[in-house]
């Protein structure tokens, strides 16, 4: 089985599990062994799914400003958790493929790491799920549903293309045609020693 077929099935399970209650505060019950790649992929998508709904909530024009600030800070924490997980997944890819990486004298770099591409696949799984839900709504007219069916078809094509690109990248890394490196994102705005607004208050 190709990596993306397997990973996408984990994303779909996470999305389905979340929508059993559709509650941003519900406790995650990760069905996979702790510290396994399956565990991290499920957790990654769960974070994406909760954040998807937080982003919906914060766009309510009648939201209480205090609540909006709480949601915004929660989104910031979620983004940091997401970045940390992507880097962890990239480390897993590195450990899996680093012995073959760079074997070819003509090996080249890719513009993004495997895990950041998988991050986009996780978000795409959410887009597909929610666009599918829009095609099933009964409180809208057929024009709305048809427009969403058209968008859904594009998203599904994008999912096929992205999956193929990721699998090809992994194949190229494994065969030594591509290098693999892990870069820490080093986000500055969450670091009290690097954000001038934060360290200026010390």
Single pTM value for the model: 0.90
The count of domains in the chain is 1
- Convert the pLDDT of each residue in 39-71 to its tens digit: 999 999 999 999 999 999 999 999 999 999 999
- Convert the pLDDT of each residue in 66-106 to its tens digit: 999 999 999 999 999 999 999 999 999 999 987 665 567 78
- Convert the pLDDT of each residue in 154-178 to its tens digit: 999 999 999 999 999 999 999 888 8
Neighbours of 102 (CB within 10 A): 15
DSSP-assigned letter for residue 58: H
Q: Count Cα atoms within 13 angstroms, Cβ side, for 123.
A: 12
Domain of residue 35, residue span: 3-199
For the chain, give the mean pLDDT: 91
Per-residue confidence (pLDDT) for residue 180, from 0 to 100: 85
Q: Is 49 exposed, middle or buried (0-12, 13-18, 19+ CB in 10 A)?
A: buried
């Amino acid at each position: 089985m190709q990596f993306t077929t397997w990973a996408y099935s984990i994303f779909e399970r996470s999305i389905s599990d979340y929508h059993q209650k559709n509650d941003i505060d519900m406790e995650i019950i990760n069905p996979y062994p702790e510290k396994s790649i399956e565990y991290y992929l499920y957790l990654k998508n769960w974070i994406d799914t909760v954040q998807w709904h937080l982003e919906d909530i914060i766009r309510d024009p009648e939201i209480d400003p205090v609540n909006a600030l709480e949601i915004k800070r929660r989104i910031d924490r979620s983004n940091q958790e997401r970045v940390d997980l992507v880097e962890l997944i990239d480390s897993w890819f590195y450990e899996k493929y680093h012995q073959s990486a760079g074997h070819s004298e003509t090996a080249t770099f890719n513009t993004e790491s495997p895990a950041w591409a998988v991050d986009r696949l996780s978000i795409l799984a959410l887009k597909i799920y929610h666009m599918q839900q829009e095609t099933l709504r009964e409180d809208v007219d057929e024009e709305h549903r048809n427009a969403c069916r058209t968008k859904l078809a594009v998203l599904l094509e994008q999912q096929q293309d992205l999956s193929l690109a990721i699998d090809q990248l992994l194949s190229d890394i494994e065969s030594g045609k591509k290098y693999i490196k892990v870069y820490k994102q080093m986000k500055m705005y969450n670091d009290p020693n690097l954000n001038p607004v934060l360290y200026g208050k010390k």
